[in-house]
Amino acid sequence: MSQQPTPILEIHDLEVHYGAAQALFGLDLTVNSGETVALVGANGAGKTTLLKTVMGLLRPSRGTIRFAGRDTTRLSATEMVRCGLALSPEGRQLFGPLTVQENLELGVLPLKLGAAEIRTRLEEIFALFPRLAERRRQQAGTLSGGEQQMVAMGRALMSKPQLLLLDEPSLGLAPLITDTIFAIIHQLSRSGVTILLVEQNAARALEASKKAYLLASGRIVHQGDSDRLLADPRLRHAFLGAGSDEQPEKSRLGAAGLTNIRLEKPDMSNQTFMPPFKDETELKAHQLEGLKWTVNHAFNGSSFYHSRLEEAGVTPENITNLDDIRRLPFTTADDLRDGYPFPLRAVPFEQIVRIHASSGTTGKRKVLSYTQKDIDDWVHFFARAYEMAGVTPLDRVQIAVGYGVWTAGMGFQLGCEKLGALAVPAGPGNIDMQCQFMLDFQSTVFCATASMALLMAEEIHKRGIADRINVNKIIYGSERSSVSMRKKISELFGGAELFDIPGLTELYGPGTGIECREHDCIHYWADYYILEILDPETLEPVSEGEWGEMVVTTLCKEAAPLIRYRTRDITRIIPGRCACGSLLPRHSRIRGRSDDMIKFRGVNIYPSSIDAILSQIPGLGSEYQVHLTRDEKSGKDHMRLVVEQAEGSDSQRRMELSRESVHQIKHQLLVSCEVEIAAYGSLPRSERKSQRIFDSRIKDEIVG
Ligand code: ZN
């Protein structure tokens, strides 16, 4: 993603006339190598004129066209094919009496190839379009519209172009066939073919492309990343022009085919779930109001909090500024378990509309109650999480997390529907079905635990289906996510963007923050809760930017408010504003839990630190286990790591990898250990959290 884009087509100040009539006005446009760029606009906007000019079929009256680094402004169409350009024209333009194969062969006519090379290329085209293979001897004129479109695209691909110009591929096709054609375009795009796509159906074109230009009356009126354009209210304005909401078909938007999608609904295209605050001062004022409300509500509504606050000598009147939060008593997971089945309840039962519970296996579950407003708030900020990740109403979100009494599935589902995207409630597990759904529904967003995402990534790789799926974003629950694991998941998913989404049942559920597209830590919703970072042992605040335990206080939670709830999650605040511009503050990815922390020979070690070190060693995989034992006689602790080699890494290197791991751990964590390198795939994988720490020492050594 950080790779510098190489322009393959650069158009500058292009003007084209048909006789005295001007068709294009000073157009600038760039297509980078490997990109799919859409050119959308109404009939007569100048799209086809532009393509024909690039192809050498029309002469510009002004401006330059550079293709693959050279000036091609004055070249003919035949010369352009030799330069590596191919056009699949509007209306297909096949030779009806010729067979499918003969039509395809026309695509390489200007290249003067040998018969053997032509045969090889034909087989490649037939592999891409199996339907054409069955009909290779059939006359092109007798094919269906969709099949004719495949021949036109295949003919253009025969020349192995550096840039494929696709003019109105879906024109006149039934919706089902259009789906097939776009699936092929997507597949071409994933396999690295650079495409300039001209389409009247703007929604489909934007969905299929990375970048888009909006053309109206021979001018470019808007350009940008396609997914952002889809979500951007300015797109509406740019396209609606003289049209109105009542008569969308009269508008340029209507003519561009954008009226039949949900984007057209005003509340969906203009919606945002971001907070309205202008600056940090406004946010802090909101937090103080929320804190006062919460303490008052808890004091008067909950017998548990009433006695806790009384013990601490605090009444609601004592809260006059944000620092007063430090006078408040802590709440812990034990308080929740002790209050089973309705802990912390601060409203009468008739106001509770739902309960959720944690999936905890030991002791009683943590159960949380919700009022309708609690649910609405949760759904609102979950939609915000999707918005921050760039998910739009046109996305298809495959939700592979647990549905049931726990919060995960429900949160992902309701947030997705609130945003207006299409939800595929797949649930966890069932790898076969997940693959099938990705292929058939062309899901664009995949939500899962990190372990499940890795499992899916490996499966997609194994089945060789990466270029037939369409997942471009992975939203994974805040579990363990080392750099190498993220990199591997992204790569095996064909370059998908990863977003870490934290959350916990006590605090509504998942979605309490998310990574933004800068991927620099996690924005959290400071308008819904206050986050303190405290030293887990002294419970005093750490200095800014230091690691410590996350302690949360809710600002508007009704049924089960949280006052200084000790989450046990270890993180830190990232000082300063994010490059994305959001004023919502950030914390680091969760580094571990204060109760997961290993105390080994006087050193505090978080599993994530081991992750980080192993990630830096080339040749190691992402799976590992830590075994801690104690020698009965000497009382000395011993640490042994079992680490998988990377897939395809040379087994001869095991000794060397082991030595390097021992050295790095000694160097960075200041502890000695033994490292055993295991074969790739030999450690157990799990769809849920994989167990990595096996501690057989006396338990009270672990900080609780
Ligand atoms: Zn950001």
- Tens-place pLDDT, residues 178-219: 888 998 898 888 888 999 999 877 778 888 899 999 888 888
Between 633 and 56, name the one with better pLDDT. 56
Residues 6+ apart with CB under 8 A from 313: none
Ligand 1 center–CA 586 separation, angstroms: 8
556 and 631 assigned to the same domain: no
Could you give the percent of the chain with pLDDT greater than 70? 90
198 and 252 assigned to the same domain: yes
Ligand 1 center–CA 523 separation, angstroms: 6
pLDDT for the residue numbered 205: 87
**pLDDT class of 3 with cuts at 50, 70, 90:** low
Ligand 1 center–CA 444 separation, angstroms: 22
167 and 69 assigned to the same domain: yes
Domain stops at, among 547, 562, 592: 592
**pLDDT class of 694 with cuts at 50, 70, 90:** confident
Confidence check: pLDDT of 247 > 70: no
322 and 377 assigned to the same domain: no
- Average pLDDT across the chain, whole number: 87
Domain stops at, among 160, 195, 216: 160
Q: Is 588 exposed, middle or buried (0-12, 13-18, 19+ CB in 10 A)?
A: middle
pLDDT for the residue numbered 162: 92
Whole-angstrom distance, CA of residue 492 vs CA of residue 647: 12
Relative to beta strand 522-524, strand 195-199 is unpaired
Ligand 1 center–CA 580 separation, angstroms: 4
Ligand 1 center–CA 321 separation, angstroms: 28
Average pLDDT over residues 20-46: 89
Confidence check: pLDDT of 72 > 80: yes
Whole-angstrom distance, CA of residue 701 vs CA of residue 303: 35
Asked whether residue 38 is domain-assigned, the answer is: yes
Could you give the percent of the chain with pLDDT greater than 90? 57
pLDDT for the residue numbered 254: 45
Ligand 1 center–CA 487 separation, angstroms: 20
- Span 584-626, pLDDT tens digits: 999 998 877 776 777 787 677 777 788 888 988 999 988 889 9
Average pLDDT over residues 230-235: 66
Choose the weakest-confidence range: 233-247, 348-362, 577-591, 622-636. 233-247
Ligand 1 center–CA 56 separation, angstroms: 44
On whether the CB atoms of residues 151 and 130 are closer than 8 A, the answer is no
Ligand 1 center–CA 388 separation, angstroms: 8
464 and 511 assigned to the same domain: yes
Average pLDDT over residues 460-467: 92
DSSP helix/strand/coil, 389: coil
Give me the number of domains the chain comprises: 5
Asked whether residue 274 is domain-assigned, the answer is: no
Ligand 1 center–CA 588 separation, angstroms: 12
102 and 66 assigned to the same domain: no
Whole-angstrom distance, CA of residue 263 vs CA of residue 69: 38
**pLDDT class of 293 with cuts at 50, 70, 90:** very high
Q: Considering just the CA atoms, what is the radius of gyration of the chain in Å? A: 30
Ligand 1 center–CA 504 separation, angstroms: 21
Picking from 88, 55, 90, the residue whose alpha carbon sits closest to that of residue 72 is 55
Ligand 1 center–CA 615 separation, angstroms: 25
pLDDT for the residue numbered 214: 86
Domain stops at, among 551, 574, 592: 592
pLDDT for the residue numbered 250: 41
Ligand 1 center–CA 275 separation, angstroms: 14
CB atoms near residue 180 (< 10 Å): 17
Ligand 1 center–CA 547 separation, angstroms: 20
Angle at Cα 676 formed by Cα 672 and Cα 680, nearest 5°?
A: 140
**pLDDT class of 664 with cuts at 50, 70, 90:** very high
Confidence check: pLDDT of 674 > 50: yes
- Span 425-449, pLDDT tens digits: 999 889 999 999 999 999 999 999 8
Ligand 1 center–CA 524 separation, angstroms: 10
Confidence check: pLDDT of 238 > 60: no
99 and 76 assigned to the same domain: no
456 and 493 assigned to the same domain: yes
The position carrying tokens 């590992």 is: 624
Q: Is 578 exposed, middle or buried (0-12, 13-18, 19+ CB in 10 A)?
A: middle
Asked whether residue 186 is domain-assigned, the answer is: yes
Ligand 1 center–CA 548 separation, angstroms: 22
Confidence check: pLDDT of 666 > 60: yes
Give the structural domain span for 383. 371-515
Picking from 348, 342, 386, the residue whose alpha carbon sits closest to that of residue 367 is 342
Asked whether residue 208 is domain-assigned, the answer is: yes
CATH classification of the domain holding 621: 3.30.300.30
123 and 137 assigned to the same domain: yes
Ligand 1 center–CA 577 separation, angstroms: 8
Asked whether residue 364 is domain-assigned, the answer is: no
First to last CA, the chain: 41
Whole-angstrom distance, CA of residue 102 vs CA of residue 97: 10
Q: Is the dihedral of CA 492, 495, 499, 500 positive or negative?
A: positive
Confidence check: pLDDT of 269 > 60: no
DSSP line for 501-516 = E-EEGGGTEE-SEEE-
Q: Which residue type sits at 624? A: Y
On whether the CB atoms of residues 223 and 212 are closer than 8 A, the answer is yes
**pLDDT class of 91 with cuts at 50, 70, 90:** confident
Between 318 and 623, name the one with better pLDDT. 318
Ligand 1 center–CA 206 separation, angstroms: 24
Asked whether residue 534 is domain-assigned, the answer is: yes
Picking from 509, 590, 510, 507, the residue whose alpha carbon sits closest to that of residue 554 is 507
CB atoms near residue 343 (< 10 Å): 21
Ligand 1 center–CA 563 separation, angstroms: 27
Ligand 1 center–CA 579 separation, angstroms: 6
Confidence check: pLDDT of 541 > 90: yes
560 and 644 assigned to the same domain: no
Ligand 1 center–CA 582 separation, angstroms: 6
CATH classification of the domain holding 433: 3.40.50.12780
Asked whether residue 459 is domain-assigned, the answer is: yes
pLDDT for the residue numbered 479: 60
376 and 460 assigned to the same domain: yes
Confidence check: pLDDT of 232 > 50: yes
Backbone angles phi, psi at 289, to 5 degrees: -55, -45
The Cβ-side half-sphere exposure at 173, using a 13 Å CA radius, reads: 26
CATH classification of the domain holding 204: 3.40.50.300
**pLDDT class of 450 with cuts at 50, 70, 90:** confident
Ligand 1 center–CA 263 separation, angstroms: 25
Between 429 and 243, name the one with better pLDDT. 429
pLDDT for the residue numbered 670: 82
Ligand 1 center–CA 550 separation, angstroms: 20
382 and 477 assigned to the same domain: yes
Ligand 1 center–CA 210 separation, angstroms: 21
On whether the CB atoms of residues 644 and 623 are closer than 8 A, the answer is yes
Confidence check: pLDDT of 687 > 90: no
Asked whether residue 20 is domain-assigned, the answer is: yes
pLDDT for the residue numbered 316: 96
Between 703 and 574, name the one with better pLDDT. 574
**pLDDT class of 695 with cuts at 50, 70, 90:** confident
